[in-house]
Amino acid sequence: MTAINLLQPGNFERIMLATDGSEYSEGAVRVAIEMTRRHNAKLLILSIAIYSPEYASLVPDLEEIATEKAQAIVQKTVEQARGTNYEVVVKLANDPYRGIVEAAEEQRADIIVMGRRGRRGLARLMVGDATAKVVGGAPCAVLVVPKSANIWDKRIMVATDGSRYGDAATLVAAAVAKGKSYPLTAVSAVVASHSAERRSEAEAAVQRVKDGLVGSGIEVSGIVEEGRPEQVIIAKARETGADLIVMGTHGRTGMDRILLGSVSERVIGQAECPVLLVRAA
């Protein structure tokens, strides 16, 4: 791998915070506001006004009612964001996921920050249905933040499997690490059934990260361990003290723009820290 270009990836100038005003958004709100300050960025505080055209003729002023409700939801966040460059964005949509994705496209967001799940509670095990769909369909990176999590200040972990998704995650993880001189750990997992060739590929994937960051000034370490990928990633993040996990939206067997890779979804559901999901170009 050639030296990694750290100039473009991870340059978050337009940060979109998707909030539903519930307790599940609290971590996302904290992290998005702090990111805005760190990056001297524009914060787009998004609330979705749930609106179904088919019911508009049955409920007088349905659009106005939905919009007012969405605007009320963001008021607490607005108070917390005082002193930053922020803008409130209210998007009419009949589905929260579609509204978030469309708003990110319209507002040219560099990253979407959101909670692990929303008001609808448990769905798709530990990851909310809207969150999973946003990660799978967003035009940009998505940062999923557990409600008790804070912004990272210790170590970055990047999960890589040698795929283009892993390479894209490495670019962003390296840029984030470089910005604040955080140490970076690259991790790859193998399972018992993997062939010697596949195990060698995992070792090579981690080595590519280390070789690509030679001369970058970033302290880099690498880990290859046997186990279920999500369990290895979660365990190693905990053991190394990593407080941000960066990974691709899909792995080696992933398909573009279809929901969310199963490993990525399980990591989001189990992680104690924010997880940054990156699309492959």
The domain spans of the chain are 14-145, 156-278
Who's near 180: CB < 8 A, 6+ residues apart?
38, 153
- Is 80 exceeded by the pLDDT of residue 96? yes
pLDDT in tens, 104-131: 999 999 999 999 865 554 443 455 678 8
pLDDT in tens, 150-179: 999 999 999 998 888 888 999 999 999 998
Q: What is the CATH number of domain 14-145?
A: 3.40.50.620
Structure tokens at 84: 């930053």
Q: Are 225 and 261 in contact (CB under 8 A)?
A: no
Question: Is pLDDT larger for residue 216 or for residue 63?
Answer: 216
Amino acid of residue 121? G
Q: In the prediction, which pLDDT does 43 show?
A: 98
- Is 50 exceeded by the pLDDT of residue 15? yes
Q: In the prediction, which pLDDT does 122 show?
A: 42
pLDDT in tens, 212-225: 899 889 999 999 99
pLDDT category, 274, cuts 50, 70, 90?
Answer: very high
pLDDT in tens, 242-268: 999 999 986 554 444 344 568 888 899
Question: Is pLDDT larger for residue 99 or for residue 56?
Answer: 99
Q: Torsion-angle region of residue 130: left (phi > 0), alpha (psi -120 to 50) or beta?
A: alpha
Pick among 2.20.25.90, 3.40.50.1820, 3.40.50.620, 3.30.565.10: CATH of 156-278: 3.40.50.620
Q: In the prediction, which pLDDT does 220 show?
A: 96
Mean pLDDT, residues 60-81 = 86
- Helices 262-270, 129-137: inter-axial angle, 10-degree rounding: 130
What CA–CA distance (Å, rounded) separates 59 from 81?
Answer: 34
Q: What is the DSSP letter of 119?
A: T
Q: How far is CA 71 from CA 64, 66, 89, 102, in A?
A: 11, 9, 9, 18
Mean pLDDT, residues 1-20 = 71
Mean pLDDT, residues 232-250 = 93
**Global confidence as pTM:** 0.89
Structure tokens at 118: 């929303």
Closest alpha carbon to 254 in 186, 171, 165, 184: 165
Q: What is the DSSP letter of 5?
A: P
